[in-house]
Amino acid sequence: METPGRIRIINVLKSKETGREITVKGWVRTKRTSRRVTFIELNDGSTINGLQLVVDAALVGEDKLKQISTGACIKAEGLLVESPGSGQPVELQVKSIDIYGHADAETYPLQKKEHTQEYLREIAHLRPRTKMFGAVLRIRHAMAYAIHKYFNDNGFFYLHTPIITASDAEGAGAMFQVTTLNLDELLKSKEPRIDYSNDFFGKRTSLTVSGQLEGELGALALGQIYTFGPTFRAENSNTPRHLAEFWMVEPEMAFYEIADNMTLAEDFIKYLVSYALDNCADDLAFLNTKDSDLLARLKGIVETEFARIDYTEAIEILEKVDHVKFEYPVYWGVDLQAEHERYLVERHFGKPIILTNYPKEIKAFYMKLNDDGKTVRAMDVLFPAIGEIIGGSQREENFDKLSARIEELNIPTKDLWWYLETRKFGSAPHSGFGLGFERLLLFLTGMSNIRDVIPFPRTPRNAEF
């Protein structure tokens, strides 16, 4: 179905049906006048490409044409003709123009062609109109769709896990609290004291850091599920890889061992990258003009087999490195830093790696303990330039072992009794992982800051738009 009252520019450019009268609506990217003809590049967001409007001032009116500048929103009617210029297959010989919204040339913040990413972040309400952001946002959409398609085609069910939760899945403690208690009023009382039994849910609640624990409940009933939604972390990390609000894709599968989990993760990422190459060609071609390696990197990933190595092997490799000085020391048991991960991926292996069998001390309580009693069946997928893109594991399905681990870590069992019950009734081996959606988009778009692959980033001290 075509949009009422207009043809979207993506379809105009595709159809190449010249000789017909059409109506288009969109925003002016550029306007230039040569002799008696004015050329307007119109974009409506449906594609990165613009439609060239050829405007005769005598036809639409000198005054009206003067009012149209970069950023203005207009409707144009005219005849679609073959374009004599080399830049485009077709162009519109305009018969009439209506102006929906002006954009004052003196004050419109996107007047210039090139802006820094920092500047654009300050005008997040307008940056979707830039070429770069339009490309990123269309790719983001395509990837969300491809994620649902991949899982649906492979027999996974989409499970909606809650956003408000009373448990802390990762045990990291960096959560945003959710409350309806009036903190201002509380402070005014003589002896300020918080009684969560008076709070909305009758207990302390937060925004979820992961849908995994509830995802496991789904997998142990439906076989294989995935969640895909916003997750929240209140860690104060101001890095180009961290957001306080980000989207995570979390599949969870009954009867999957850790190796099956790795195979799925690799197949999933390759599918998504291939999907982008096949379906986002124009946007990727544009991004490739900013980062000339991008397309080659994407194609490379699809064709490369990821390396699978043990944490212990990784430490051995890193300990032997003498030509690079790491800021953080390397020893068995250490939580690998970005510099270590990047050395392994970019310099040692030269391709994505899946690291597994980490020391239990540096991983979450739910991971399955190996027979050595020291390591757990964790797996992290590490990517060039990005670092960790996926974190996952086989889950501990043994009730006694899981209970012991929970006790060891002093996690209050009163919050997790329901999780433990799945290990009591019909427990099954199972595995899953979480893909950071924005980390994936960083890789796909070649953007260098995670704030530039989400429409309205949430980071410490930043929630304006």
Q: Residues interacting with Mg ion, by CB under 5 A?
A: 391
Closer by beta carbon to ligand 4AD, 239 or else 413: 239
The only residue of 392, 402, 447, 458 in contact with ligand 4AD, by rule CB under 6 A: 392
Q: Which tokens go with 433?
A: 């992982």
Q: Which of 95, 91, 223, 245 is nearest to 155 (CA)?
A: 223
* C-beta of residue 441 within 8 angstroms of C-beta of residue 387: no
* C-beta of residue 83 within 8 angstroms of C-beta of residue 91: yes
The only residue of 423, 439, 451, 458 in contact with ligand 4AD, by rule CB under 6 A: 439
Closer by beta carbon to ligand 4AD, 80 or else 124: 124
Residues 306, 308, 313, 314, CA torsion sign: positive
Closer by beta carbon to ligand 4AD, 71 or else 387: 387
Closer by beta carbon to Mg ion, 142 or else 244: 244
Number of shown-chain residues binding ligand 4AD (CB under 6 A): 21
Tell me the window of 22-30, 51-59, 326-334, 389-397 that interacts with ligand 4AD (CB under 6 A).
389-397
Q: Which tokens go with 146?
A: 């491809």
The C-alpha atoms of residue 130 and residue 123 are separated, in whole angstroms, by: 11
Contact partners, residue 83, CB within 8 Å, separation at least 6: 52, 89, 90, 91
Q: x/- site string to ligand 4AD, residues 214 to 233, per CB under 6 A?
A: -------------------x
Closer by beta carbon to Mg ion, 218 or else 391: 391
Applying CB under 6 A, does 250 fall inside the site for ligand 4AD? yes
Task: Please report which residue ranges of 50-116 form alpha helices under DSSP H.
Answer: 57-60, 62-67
The only residue of 38, 212, 224, 422 in contact with ligand 4AD, by rule CB under 6 A: 212
Closer by beta carbon to Mg ion, 140 or else 439: 439
The C-alpha atoms of residue 60 and residue 99 are separated, in whole angstroms, by: 11
State which amino acid sits at residue 382.
L
Q: x/- site string to ligand 4AD, residues 170 to 209, per CB under 6 A?
A: x---------------------------------------
Task: Please report which residue ranges of 195-291 form alpha helices under DSSP H.
Answer: 212-222, 258-279, 281-290
Cα atoms in the 13 Å half-sphere on the side-chain side of 243 = 23
Closer by beta carbon to Mg ion, 251 or else 391: 391
Q: Of ligand 4AD, Mg ion, none, which one does residue 250 interact with (CB within 5 to 8 Å by kind)?
A: ligand 4AD
* C-beta of residue 99 within 8 angstroms of C-beta of residue 68: yes
Least distance in angstroms from the C-beta of 212 to ligand 4AD:
4
Phi, psi of 53 (to 5 degrees): -100, 130
The only residue of 94, 258, 265, 390 in contact with ligand 4AD, by rule CB under 6 A: 390
Site of interaction with ligand 4AD (CB under 6 A): 169-170, 210, 212, 233, 242-243, 246, 248, 250, 388-392, 432-434, 436, 438-439
